[in-house]
Amino acid sequence: MPIELTPRAVEKVKEILAQQQPQPKGLRVSVVGGGCSGFSYQMNFESESSGIDKTFEFDGVKVFVDQASLIYLDGTKIDFVETLEASGFKFDNPNVKTTCGCGSSFSA
């Protein structure tokens, strides 16, 4: 599978989805231009897939990825981590060549 959500990430997405009204149909994961290294990740909730998205399902959670983003996300594992300092979604992307100092953008 081109992308993977860990069980912790799936549970967190389900938790957030349950709090939304109206409840979205799924999660969009994309790569957008910007940031100090050239690209950054973006996650949004969507009511429906566009006609050109690839749709993946993880334990009932639908994930929509557009064709352009899929090139940069191929092989990426998305996890949810919680530490004393911060919590959030972590992308383990084998296509990344460099990241910026803050870790929020990358180049491929």
Residue 21 belongs to a domain: yes
Residue 105 belongs to a domain: no
What is the predicted pLDDT for the residue at 104?
64
- For residue range 2-39, list pLDDT tens digits in order: 899 999 999 999 999 999 999 899 999 999 887 666 78
- Looking at the structure of the chain, the number of domains it has is 1
Residue 70 belongs to a domain: yes
**CA-CA distances (angstroms) from residue 1 to 37, 55, 65, 75, 88?**
26, 11, 12, 7, 23
Total residue count of the chain as it appears in this document: 108
Q: Is 64 exposed, middle or buried (0-12, 13-18, 19+ CB in 10 A)?
A: buried
Nearest alpha carbon to residue 11 among 61, 56, 64:
61
For residue 22, what are the domain limits?
A: 3-95
Residue 104 belongs to a domain: no
- For residue range 91-106, list pLDDT tens digits in order: 998 988 777 665 566 6
**In this structure, are strands 54-58 and 98-99 parallel, antiparallel, or unpaired?**
unpaired
CATH number at residue 25: 2.60.300.12
